[in-house]
Structure 1
Amino acid sequence: MSSMLNALIIGAGEINFGSVEGPWNHTVRLERILGPRLRVVGLIDIDEARAKTALASKLDAQATHAAWVDCQLFRTVADAVLALTQEKTPQIAVVGVPPFARGTDVPGRDLEQQLVSAFPGCALFVEKPVSSGPEDACWRVAKVLQESRTIVGVGYMLRYLKAVQMIKKIITENKLVVMGTNARYVMAYEYARKPHWWDKTRSGGPIVEQATHFCDLSRYFGGDVRLPSVVAHSVQHNESPGQLSAKRFDEDAIPAENRLPRLTSATWKYEHGAVGSLTHVIALHGTTYDTEFEVYADGYHFKLVDPYSIPKLYIRRPGLAELETHTFTEDDPFHTELATFIDVVDGRRPSSDILSSYEDAVKTYELTWAIRRASEQSAVGYT
């Protein structure tokens, strides 16, 4: 399909336009994937100054000028509905706003439902986590999206890594049954200076907001989780091991009860009997994180190292003591997930090729909250 594709960009921040702190930048990927087919019909952001700056940066770039020349700025979806002509009706909407604005059916926090009502047939690409609101509200949103037959993809890009797909392929080809998963996420916190990130009432906390990718990867291999089985413990900010020496902001301005745990360790049972575990730590200085993800099955051990940067996959197979090593130097899962999403919208691929559906992403959201709640309950009486 070579016809023009109308895109509505929601959110003028780092998710859609990038920053020096991370690899996310959905608009750049769309430009590369669609080339001259891309027509951005609108940019929605309540912060008008930020939206103007983001659009100006695109119009100044010769390579992307054509895609953005017709872009209009709006504060709300309702404003876009009133202004966009039929010719400019969006076919895809890229939702890159904070989770407090989406994932529920509460007015003002119901972005998906606003879009479905305003632009029937428009496909949605939604960032993770799906919300910061109640899980039951997320399920009501999922029902609306399903009943409207809206094509939806959620930004759990690690599923699209070549290394992850290699593990999946080996498991399938050898008819393996996953015995367990183990995720370890150690954050470098020195340059995390935004106070709202350190306030769990605003960010959701490190499991809901950051470790969500590893919780999702765990479910991708282990399947559905028995949520009542989740057990978790944490190191709190006011405990001796939780004292941090390289903070570059004033944490005292955050109420004590809202501050983040420094370490969270959780285990759970999957529905089919396997065991999952996760350790998330706020501990390292500098900018380099330390992340690993393991899958165990009879005769096999898979270890994925540094999935956010240059992934390495170590495999031990039956009868071989030496590890098989695979390094993936040029793998952009953000590009792959968006390219897959566009192919589904164009009808070139089935919707099942979208590896993270909205319903599946809600299950990941439920797991992250189950871990957070279990860790908070276990901390009562120890802090």
Structure 2
Amino acid sequence: MSKTRIGFIGVGGIAQRHLGVLEQFPDVSLVAFADPDFDRAVDAAARFGARAFADHTGMLEAADLDAVYICVPPFAHGAPEQAVIARNLPFFVEKPLSLDINLAEELARAVDAAGLVTAVGYHWRYLDIVEEARRRLADRPAQLLSGYWLDQTPPPQWWWRADRSGGQMVEQATHIIDLARYLAGEVTQVFGLAGHMAREGFPGLDVATASTASLRFASGAIGNLGATCLLGWGHRVGLHVFADGLALELSDHDIMIDVGAGRPVMHAQGDPVWAEDRDFIDAVRGEANRIRSPYGEALKTHRVALAIATSAREGRAIDMAEDN
């Protein structure tokens, strides 16, 4: 069996999650790693008998690759994708796509023009409990959605700065926005609010420490999101969905289905990251393309997340048609 040769741009935490999956695939060979923290690239290369590079340019010039994983912080997107597209290589990229919507739109056009296989890390779409929610909502569509990302402040200091991470709605709650789109359809209008509290122990933190957003969907459904990074623990991350005679509570590990006869809970089975990585590799290998979030689809979610941030900053509702 020929193996699909994979290179990684960025070898941080989320890359390690994918590596733990990809090393299980007998048809994958992990051959090259690039990271500005060269020691991190060296460690990953030693683990897999691969080559280490200090930047993506050197890796793309020297390594024989079939596809690339791009796992970089929000502010670092752009140059890696452009270089990968220029070499006509399929790529998997972690969210958020970019802090610059114009750049993300440019990359989407380039992907389309090249006809590349792409995937974006919205792994909630691969949860079996999300498929159960879609089945339940098929004949009685969502009318009200309430999402939450109530959590602690991540340790990387780039996350603390809006010009580096985009803030919590863009960097974290984007998963909930994508789930809402997956279950209820396209968003047509957003209105965001944001508050900030200075915090001892987090010097330079300028992202909103509390955020909310109201959403209107093309279907007529309405929704709201709440996010905070003020806690020292993960309190609640998920989406509640209400339809005619139906209430659903979704997290990334279970679903509660309430039809007025108790509150039974179904636990998720399987690993959604394994599933999204398997679909990407299969598509790269020319097998059936079952990718649930290619670049163009992920861009629709990203537009909403950035619009929420813009709305909060400018104090006005934003019609999504303005940006399309």
Alpha-carbon distance change, 316 to 250 in structure 1, aligned in 2, over 3 angstroms: closer
- Given candidates 222, 225, 231, the residue that maps to 1:275 is 222
In terms of fraction of residues, the more strand-rich structure is 2
Alpha-carbon distance change, 250 to 168 in structure 1, aligned in 2, over 3 angstroms: closer
- Given candidates 295, 301, 312, the residue that maps to 2:241 is 295
**Corresponding position of 1:178:** 142
- Name which of structure 1's ranges 205-214 and 370-379 shifts more when overlaid on structure 2: 370-379
Structure 1, unmatched stretches of 5+, are 18-24, 59-67, 103-108, 239-243
For the pair 1:313 / 2:255, whether they are aligned, the reply is yes
**Corresponding position of 2:191:** 231
Secondary structure of 1:231's partner? strand
Aligned-pair identity (%) = 27
Alpha-carbon distance in structure 2 between the residues aligned to 1:370 and 1:293: 20
Structure 2, unmatched stretches of 5+, are 317-324
The superposition leaves residues 157-211 of structure 1 with CA deviations (integer Å, 9 ceiling, x where unpaired) of 1111111111112223xx232212210111134xx33332211122211111111
**Corresponding position of 1:266:** 213
Instruction: Indicate conservation of the 8 Å contact 1:156/1:356, yes or no.
Output: yes
**Corresponding position of 1:62:** none
**Corresponding position of 2:111:** 145
Alpha-carbon distance change, 326 to 208 in structure 1, aligned in 2, over 3 angstroms: same
- Name which of structure 1's ranges 176-185 and 144-153 shifts more when overlaid on structure 2: 176-185
Alpha-carbon distance change, 323 to 361 in structure 1, aligned in 2, over 3 angstroms: same
Alpha-carbon distance change, 188 to 98 in structure 1, aligned in 2, over 3 angstroms: closer
Instruction: Indicate conservation of the 8 Å contact 2:4/2:285, yes or no.
Output: no
Alpha-carbon distance in structure 1 between the residues aligned to 2:126 and 2:74: 22
Give the aligned residue type for 2:6. A
Matches for 1:102-113 after TM superposition, within 5 Å: 102=77, 109-113=78-82
Q: CA deviation at 1:303?
A: 0.9
**Corresponding position of 2:70:** 95
Q: CA deviation at 1:96?
A: 0.8
Matches for 1:12-91 after TM superposition, within 5 Å: 12-17=11-16, 25-32=17-24, 34-35=25-26, 37-56=27-46, 58=47, 68-69=48-49, 71-84=50-63, 89-91=64-66
Alpha-carbon distance in structure 2 between the residues aligned to 1:82 and 1:123: 16
Instruction: Indicate conservation of the 8 Å contact 2:141/2:184, yes or no.
Output: no
Q: CA deviation at 1:138?
A: 1.1
Alpha-carbon distance in structure 1 between the residues aligned to 2:142 and 2:157: 39
**Corresponding position of 2:320:** none
Instruction: Indicate conservation of the 8 Å contact 1:222/1:276, yes or no.
Output: no
Alpha-carbon distance change, 250 to 267 in structure 1, aligned in 2, over 3 angstroms: closer
Alpha-carbon distance in structure 1 between the residues aligned to 2:156 and 2:32: 28
4+ runs deviating over 6 angstroms:
none
Matches for 1:351-366 after TM superposition, within 5 Å: 351=289, 353-366=290-303
Secondary structure of 1:184's partner? strand
The superposition leaves residues 75-100 of structure 1 with CA deviations (integer Å, 9 ceiling, x where unpaired) of 3343234423xxxx311211112222
The superposition leaves residues 238-284 of structure 1 with CA deviations (integer Å, 9 ceiling, x where unpaired) of 5xxxxx5xx5x342xx2xxx612221111021122211210002232
- How many residues are treated as equivalent by the alignment? 316
**Corresponding position of 2:319:** none
Alpha-carbon distance in structure 1 between the residues aligned to 2:55 and 2:158: 23
For the pair 1:219 / 2:181, whether they are aligned, the reply is yes
For the pair 1:169 / 2:135, whether they are aligned, the reply is yes
Alpha-carbon distance in structure 1 between the residues aligned to 2:169 and 2:151: 12
Give the aligned residue type for 2:7. L
Alpha-carbon distance in structure 1 between the residues aligned to 2:164 and 2:56: 23
Alpha-carbon distance change, 169 to 132 in structure 1, aligned in 2, over 3 angstroms: same
Give the aligned residue type for 1:288. G
Task: Please give the TM-score of this superposition, normalised by the length of structure 1.
Answer: 0.77
- Given candidates 252, 272, 278, the residue that maps to 1:333 is 272
